[in-house]
Amino acid sequence: MEVTAWAPGRVNIVGEHTDYNNGLVLPIAIDLGTWATVGVNTSSGIEITSAQFPGERFNVTDTNIQSLPHWARYVAGSALTFMKSTDITSGLRVHVDSTVPLGAGLSSSASVECAIIVALDELFHANLPKLVIAELAQQAEHVYANVPCGLMDQVASMFGQIGEAILFDVKDMQIESLAFNPESSGVGLLVCDTKIRHSLAQGEYAIRRSQCNDASALLGLSSLRDVVSIADLDELPEILRKRARHVVTENTRVLSVVGAATSGDWKRVGDLISKSHESLRDDFEVSIDEIDHAVSAAQNHGALGARIVGGGFGGSILILCENDNFKSVSEAVVRSLVIDGIDSPTLRTFSPTSGAHVVADSKDILG
């Protein structure tokens, strides 16, 4: 018997680098995602394959996983994390196929992790709650991929709904779905994959997280979510003050975007998205020149707002734009990136879609 599940990537509307600070985030699930097919293997270990890496096949155990390519550690780590949490000892076969581009800031990793664990949950009738699956997926990324990510990406992949954004309060672990339908006002979400690839395991992400922890410790707080006022940050060293200021102001922007989107004020939403980029560029320092230039090009050619999206240092740009301006904004962004030496960036529109689920018509993929 085999089971196939699908889990989406995500675009975060606003609330970047706030989740691991017990903050607020507002992502949507998108229609790019991962299919994971799982089955029982009569031999020991986990046999893994990927449509994106044809010809590569690994038989994985807990003792050899860290020697594998990065993609294989995500796949095998997700399966191992599920098995340990449920005391399952069967050998497994796992095959994945994804449409989420790697390193684009659209959460390819959470998509893979959630798809695998949802499929295994169905295969072994574990009936785990969605939030538990999200937490297991996050654990797999921490332990086996060495990326100390927050929980936003996995929650977005599990809890996505068509036409709705997810307001996730990490401190209180509260998840609320909110209507998010700019299309009804002639406005849409345009995402540019710049093709500038990042690897969050290379250290900058972990450095930012450590700096946030240092800031909260110096303030005598459990997390930056507990900061009452920007003035409270004045006593911090400059670099930590900048990092903390981004987190505090970004949490405020999340609530402001929720209010503006609820009232249909998409110009205000766009302004807040652009303010988020300024903060990520200047205070959190996770943007790069090429993306800054492309964001400015979008804004100067009629976009309501634009910002870098994801962990930073490359990846994608989120653009809120009136439908009538899609063509001019897209052309301006592409021109900017090409001038900076970036070949073949791609743009596409996204609307909120459904979260991870078992695919009913699973085919005989494993053979």
Residues assigned a catalytic role: 153
Q: What is the DSSP string of 177-198?
A: EEE--GGGGTEEEEEEEEEE--
How far is it, in rounded angstroms, from Cα 104 to Cα 199?
10
Exposed, middle or buried: residue 29 (CB in 10 Å: 0-12, 13-18, 19+)?
A: buried
What is the sign, positive or negative, of the torsion defined by CA atoms of 10, 13, 16, 19?
Answer: negative
On the CB side of 84, CA atoms within 13 Å amount to 13
- Say if residues 219 and 232 touch (Cβ distance below 8 Å): yes
Helices (H), 65-107: 70-86
Q: Identify which of 122, 9, 110, 98 has the alpha carbon closest to the alpha carbon of residue 50.
A: 98
How far is it, in rounded angstroms, from Cα 316 to Cα 337?
12
Residues 6+ apart with CB under 8 A from 352: 28, 29, 30, 160, 161, 162, 163, 164, 165, 180
Q: Identify which of 194, 159, 195, 196 has the alpha carbon closest to the alpha carbon of residue 178.
A: 159
Q: Which amino acid is at 117?
A: I
- For 181-216, b/e burial (b = at least 16 CB within 10 A) is ebeeeebbbbbbbbbbebebbeebbeebbebbbbbb
Helices (H), the chain: 70-86, 108-123, 130-144, 152-159, 204-218, 238-262, 266-282, 289-300, 326-339
Residue identified by tokens 């507990």 is 226
Q: Identify which of 99, 139, 82, 106 has the alpha carbon closest to the alpha carbon of residue 6.
A: 99
